[in-house]
Amino acid sequence: MTNEKEISPMNGYIMILLLVLLLFGGAFMLLRFHPALPVIAILCAILIVPGFVLVNPNSSRVLLLFGSYVGTIKKNGLFWVNPLYTKKKISLRASNFDSERLKVNDKLGNPIMISTILVWRVTDTYKAAFDVDDYQNFVRVQTDAAVRKLASMYPYDNFADEGLDEDITLRSSLNEVSIALEKELQERLSMAGIEVLEARIGYLAYAQEIANAMLKRQQATAIVAARHKIVEGAVSMVEMALDELNKKNVVDLDEERKAAMVSNLMVVLCSDKDAAPIVNAGTLNH
């Protein structure tokens, strides 16, 4: 037997009625008949009691008879089975697992801290009970292994100065990374009869020893990108100003004065601080 077998055992309420009849019948026979008869009735009642099984919603009982798999009860209610059966409880409810923060290396070799949040449930009780030693511990260990593998497949972030053209990064591509993590975990946990409902990154940051340096690097990258945008806008504005002055014949500038005007406008437009204007009270040449 290598697959789950769902069974429907006897209704437990019928056996409760039989148990009550045996107890009251034994008491009645103790008064009216031979003392051996009530003893037999009481012994039968005692043998019946261990066979009762209560299965709550989204729960199950795996039944064994002397080490041999008999089947699994997944229906909820009160049932009665062979008193010699060994009954192992396995929950079918969805469970959350928040892994510890692991220190791993990303694709570029940078040390990062990462953790994952996993939502899972048991779908095959036979595999969960017999194909792995402890399915809950199996989930924890395989989740850590999957997170380490995932972190090594993608860079934390995409920096232009490293010559990489990575579309997927751990920081900015959460949906793609979560899909890859779910697929990896499902492949690892399927042998334990476990279904992965959701997996996503719960915590992501650079390791402490490089966190400050990487923060400065991110800030520098942002500043360079902003400066690039400012210069593009400033050049467009200077070009527009020269075109408008030339088109409307406001002033006739030679190349030297155009260069001076461009220089002044670029300084004003690209400066971090507001420019302090100086009024020229003399001639055009002074």
Q: Which two tokens stand for residue 34?
A: 């031979």
CB atoms within 10 A of CB 149: 14
Confidence (pLDDT) at 22: 72
Separation of alpha carbons 133 and 159, rounded Å = 44
Q: Are residues 107 and 198 in the same domain?
A: yes
* 275 in any annotated domain: no
Confidence (pLDDT) at 167: 72
State how far the alpha carbon of 14 is from the alpha carbons of 22, 59, 61, 86, 270, in Å: 13, 22, 20, 21, 89
* 2 in any annotated domain: no
Last residue of a domain, one of 25, 59, 89: 89
Contact 155, 170 (CB under 8 A): yes
Q: Are residues 232 and 265 in the same domain?
A: yes
Confidence (pLDDT) at 259: 74
Q: Are residues 137 and 160 in the same domain?
A: yes
Q: Are residues 71 and 102 in the same domain?
A: no
Which has the closest alpha carbon to 194: 110, 122, 90?
122
* 108 in any annotated domain: yes
Q: Are residues 114 and 133 in the same domain?
A: yes
What is the DSSP-derived secondary structure letter of residue 6?
B
Q: What is the CATH number of the domain that holds 100?
A: 3.30.479.30
Q: Are residues 198 and 250 in the same domain?
A: no
Q: Are residues 145 and 202 in the same domain?
A: yes
The beta-strand segments (E) located in the chain are 10-11, 52-55, 59-65, 68-73, 77-80, 86-91, 95-98, 102-105, 111-122, 194-206
Cα-flanking dihedrals φ and ψ of residue 173, to 5°?
A: -115, 65
Last residue of a domain, one of 89, 120, 135: 89
Q: Are residues 187 and 247 in the same domain?
A: no
Q: Are residues 176 and 228 in the same domain?
A: no
* 165 in any annotated domain: yes
DSSP codes of every residue in 105-151: E-TTS-EEEEEEEEEEEES-HHIIIIISS-HHHHHHHHHHHHHHHHH
The amino acid sitting at 252 is D
Q: Are residues 119 and 81 in the same domain?
A: no
Identify the three-state secondary structure at position 10: strand
* 284 in any annotated domain: no
In the predicted model, residues of the chain with pLDDT beneath 70 are 1-2, 24-38, 159-166, 209-214, 216-221, 223-224, 250-254, 258, 264, 267-286
State how far the alpha carbon of 153 is from the alpha carbons of 105, 168, 170, in Å: 10, 10, 9
| Domain membership of residue 164 as a residue range | 95-206
Over the stretch 212-238, which tens digit does the pLDDT of each residue have? 666 766 666 676 677 777 777 777 877
104, with CB counted inside 10 A (0-12, 13-18, 19+), is middle
Confidence (pLDDT) at 214: 61
Over the stretch 61-96, which tens digit does the pLDDT of each residue have? 999 988 888 888 888 888 888 888 888 898 889 988
Q: Are residues 188 and 231 in the same domain?
A: no
Last residue of a domain, one of 48, 70, 89: 89
* 277 in any annotated domain: no
Identify the three-state secondary structure at position 157: coil
Q: Are residues 110 and 194 in the same domain?
A: yes
Confidence (pLDDT) at 1: 46
* 80 in any annotated domain: yes
Confidence (pLDDT) at 186: 92
Confidence (pLDDT) at 34: 61
Q: Look up the pTM and report it.
A: 0.66
Domain count, the chain: 3
* 157 in any annotated domain: yes
Confidence (pLDDT) at 138: 92
